[in-house]
Amino acid sequence: MHRVLVIGLGAMGSSATKQLAQRGVDVLGFDRFRPPHTHGSSHGQTRIIRQCYWEDPRYVPLLLRAYELWRKLEADTGKSLLHVTGGLMIGRESGVLVTRSEMSARRFALPHEILSASELRRKYPVFNVEDDMLALWEENAGYLRPEACIEEQLGQATRAGAKLHFDEPVLEWHASAAGGVSIRTAREHYVADHLVIAAGPWAPQVLRDMQLPLRVTRQVAYWFEPRGSIDLFRQDRLPVYLLETEATHSVLYGFPLTGPQSEGVKVAQHGSDETCTPENVFREIRPADELSIRERLAGVIPLLGGRLLQAETCLYTMTPDNDFLIDKHPEFPQVTVAAGFSGHGFKFATVIGEILADLATGQMPEYDMDLFQLQRFRNRGFLQF
């Protein structure tokens, strides 16, 4: 029987392991911790999911399939994982967030509406936007519960026969030019026909010999107590949102109240220049972190300026172009690499797991994969081999 090893059981690895096991593959999954955990990128209670994709319209077919697979996972498990609230992409007409979101929406006939600044303020009074701003309302946007998603993917993988090795760090891996792979963990040595590496922020270490242009950055998410009534932040009054103010500022993103009122309302800035590793990332919240987010909120969502109730750090693994890396190893076709999801990958986990299972079993994915190829780094001078 074809055997596949999977390194990393976060969002992508748990999905790939589930897909492989459900296809009858002998699959072993490894993680240095017991997922879901707070050491990497797949935690924080919520992740936005949306279809009007400003980053690149080539992502949209994958998103449409991802929605189908998230709904299937819900049906298979009886758990509620994907919550549709609608979504707002807010920015200036001269910016990229609204205009590119609308391009994707029109190209794929996605349900949406364009709101003027006055319409936005009237419908969603938490936003204090200038008159030259506008918003794209996306009907199908919402959020996922990342910890529950990973738990259910791993549960389905186990039920389908996958063998999961938690708290078992992979120390090294090898592939032969003649075929086959092996890994050595802190406990044992394993051999197989194929290896999938979905190591999240540990990818630069696991794939150090490839010298990939990956950069791990520290991110902080915050949960604030609103000033005054919480009602304007409830899910029947506020959708998920992305907000672009100036080209030089990172995108602000946030959620309605998704848990008890005592938890607060989640908001964050997308992106950071603070590089780190999973081992040396500063996990505590600095006064400067809180000051930075409060300065952003004061201008556009002043009602979200109450007490900071909690905050968490997580990690982005960035590529130079912010597009994913999903490809075969350049020397060893029996090794598949999934890395560099650049802070917008979680929503794709179900379909990426499907793609990784295809690649690990010799099938061709049904999507345009050019966007994710390793070759683009060579073409742009980021890789020399």
Catalytic residues: 43, 46-47, 266, 270, 314, 347
The tokens describing 344, both together, are 């917008």
Percent of the chain that is helix, strand, coil (3-state, to 5): 30, 25, 40
The tokens describing 192, both together, are 């197989």
CB 54 within 8 A of CB 89: yes
Using DSSP's 3-state secondary structure scheme, residue 135 falls into strand
Within 13 Å of residue 305, how many CA atoms lie on the same side as its CB?
15
- The set of residues, in sequence order, having a beta carbon less than 8 Å from that of 286 and lying 6+ positions away, is none
Residue type at 109 in one-letter notation: A
Cα angle for residues 282, 287, 291 (degrees, 5° grid): 120
Residue type at 367 in one-letter notation: Y
Kindly give the residue spans of alpha helices, DSSP state H, lying in the chain.
11-22, 60-77, 97-107, 117-123, 146-159, 203-206, 287-300, 349-360, 375-379
Question: Count of residues for the chain?
Answer: 385
Do β-strands 87-92 and 240-243 pair in parallel, antiparallel, or remain unpaired? parallel
Cα gap 190→245, rounded to integer Å: 51
